[in-house]
Structure 1
């Protein structure tokens, strides 16, 4: 029953997106684009040159990103995250703050020049792994797409590659399974796909390489930008041990503060996954602003928490703006 309900919800969601797209094509979308009061924190991940969506849904092209920035600048009130939390909103327009998750080097190369051009503030939530210069979800996305392997054995399970270029076992994707694991348990995958990584990583740095310490410092030194924490290994903090949760939050914060020489007050939960325990540890560690994705359960439980609106790379700019104004893709 739950599976059928989930399938029905997906069908309804896609049908609504289709109908809205058709509405724009036949000229019915003007009303949907009327500016109105609202408060939204946007979350971006990667920026590339083409808007690649074969590996995952986290990339926008630099050209499209600039189109969005241009529209935002003309129509919306754009605030820093600190001012957003302080409630420095304007009436009658949409008030937005921009954030970027993961700390990818492409943010420095392709996003920041445009943010500087339009004088738009942004907060960058940065992952700071100690053993490699990538995070495991990006590694798995890339090797799954390019591997010639049809199946692999991992943690006593056989994982078979499907048509979507995802490894699956028992109806669960390898990526979702890894989301439930400690990073130490994920690390054997680096050996399983080591040959693939050697071949593909040099030509795909836009899709995995993280910011260097010098780049983080450079971003931090610009008054437009703020550095925030995003953990050490991009672990889901609702699945790992309390010790690992503390390490992700505390060590990540200390590392960024050492690099920047400044307090780091903002934290974004990897995958948006959180519980009261993780939120409490983050507050105790000194974070004053906690960012999710789009599933805040109870804002009154932690006043520091805010939802964010994920940018959808599969729909047109007008369609996205309409959904942003509405505050929902549904």
Structure 2
């Protein structure tokens, strides 16, 4: 007996899935150009809302035997970005060469488990969908969800992951096509701000991101509860680590290309603290009182630092700081009125 034909209603999403996927779509569409981390996070959040997800990752192919994994969350732990070589019989090659969806039931998870160490909780269900270019159909990468519970992922979950993969690729192509349509970088590729020009600019980008992380950690204030002692200790450790990394990056930035006249003119000899204050003024428009509260120093000390910043940058108004240090801190652009 022939299988019943698939009707459109068989492929529709439940009302709850529709609301979750629409939220993911809004989050990806509202992200800044080139902000892939926000888009990856939106995809993962949607899948976690729809089903159990023990591992989620996104990979991009580099050539025929290399997979870059910029985003991976395993058991609620964010793993460092990684680059892996893959062989001819594994999951990565299957997705790259066939462009087909992979499900656990195809081979009992054999491909999914290749290269993974045996643990107490092995992968018992998995779905991997390809990231395909919308026009050329080229397989660019993959998106994967894994569960340690058998039978976790039904057909709707597979369709949801497939839709998210398409939405992610669409956003990726929009980044490029928008710029191409305008001809922004055709003649001047060096003006593409999403691509660091050199090690110095990369250091500046990392310093800016780390600064935002450090300030976010400082804003966490847990109540004095013995049950939260371990969480408090971990946050304090993270703060200390952030401080050390920030100082090391700032020192590295200060000593990078010391003979570059343009760099000397831009930095104007600002100390780490002065650069921190200048950035907060440029990005967040903080007053002296707000700076004192944010940095846990006196308002009098802030005034001294601000005065030094203005003097070293050769300006009279703090509103001009954003324009002068824009090249130092990637997010230090003038605030919109």
Which band: TM-score by shorter chain? under 0.3
Relative contact order: is structure 1 or structure 2 higher (C-alpha 8 Å, sep ≥ 6)? 1
Larger relative helix fraction: 2
User: If the length of structure 1 is used for normalisation, what is the TM-score?
Assistant: 0.26
User: If the length of structure 2 is used for normalisation, what is the TM-score?
Assistant: 0.26
Larger relative strand fraction: 1
